[in-house]
Amino acid sequence: MRLLPRICKSFAPGLLALALTGAPDSHSAEQLGAAIASAHPLATAAGHEILGRGGNAFDAAVAVAAVLAVVEPYASGLGGGGLWLLHRAADGRQVMVDARETAPAGVKPELYVDGSGKPVPAATTRGGTAAAIPGTPAALVHVAAHYGALPLTATLAPAIRHARDGFQVDERYARSAASRERLLRDDAEASRIFLDGDRAPRAGWRLRQADLAATLEVLAREGSAGFYDGPVGRALVESVNRGGRRMAPCRSDHLPRDRARAPALSVPWRVRHDRNAAFRRWYCARAKPADARAL
């Protein structure tokens, strides 16, 4: 059985931030005064479900992130990474969990820059050269183990349910699939999972992801080793290398780090619209053996 969903080749992975306040209790999330903000109603509902089962804010964040990996394959996923800004009210601890993807050890600059110093077209956006070692699976395990109150088997249950039983896609999914229809159709597995008879589905179509459900179940039972070691890690490496990458076998000691322990700061910020150029510069600067360090 294939355990790793092949979504990285066509849909960009990522992780959306979640904001939540509250305390664990047996009462409903509304009674606790919890507020959850996510990009999808099923993810928000999962956070409330976990709070209602006695989980804390960190458990809810894990549940929300995992469900987003199921319902937003165009923006989120186990194949991506993220940064988690956490505040623990009990002792005032504030920390940034660095779970960004890292470059594989075998990456060479010439994969991204040609002999004249120009970026190789699509090298950072398509195929194996656009893939890195995922950080999201390790982050889910790390946050649950160090900050949560419930086991992963509980916090990942909503995501496993939606992946296994399916959910009705919305207009945003339909638009994203339509914009990537040709690329999805070119990959047999991607077409089987994300398209409706080789065509971009309309809103209301039910998306089922049995392989993703199996991967999440292994992650819930075995932790990071369940993803990075064994069949899942090997499937990841083989798929990426077929797409032109040079990825070595993954290891379960690729874990996220708690980086910031100083009080959080609020600063003005600005979004760059030239995302592809910024992405290329990041890869040219970071894609070298020295950067294949722990997630």
Question: Tell me, what's the pLDDT at 126?
Answer: 79
Choose the weakest-confidence range: 7-16, 25-34, 101-110, 172-181. 7-16
Contacts of 221 (CB under 8 A, 6+ apart): 153
Q: Where are the domains of the chain?
A: 29-104+133-166+208-276
The beta strands (E) that lie in the chain are given as 82-88, 93-99, 167-168, 206-207, 257-260
CA distance 77 to 66: 8
Residue 133: its pLDDT value, please?
A: 86
Asked if 2 contacts 211 with a C-beta cutoff of 8 angstroms, the reply is yes
More confident residue, 214 or 82: 214
Calculate mean pLDDT across residues 94-122.
86
Predicted structure pTM score:
0.76
Question: Would you state the pLDDT for residue 196?
Answer: 97
Across the chain, mean pLDDT equals: 77
> pLDDT value at position 251?
53
Summarize pLDDT for 160-186 with one digit per residue, the tens. Answer: 999 999 999 999 999 999 999 998 999
* Rounded Cα–Cα distance for residues 151 and 148 (Å): 8
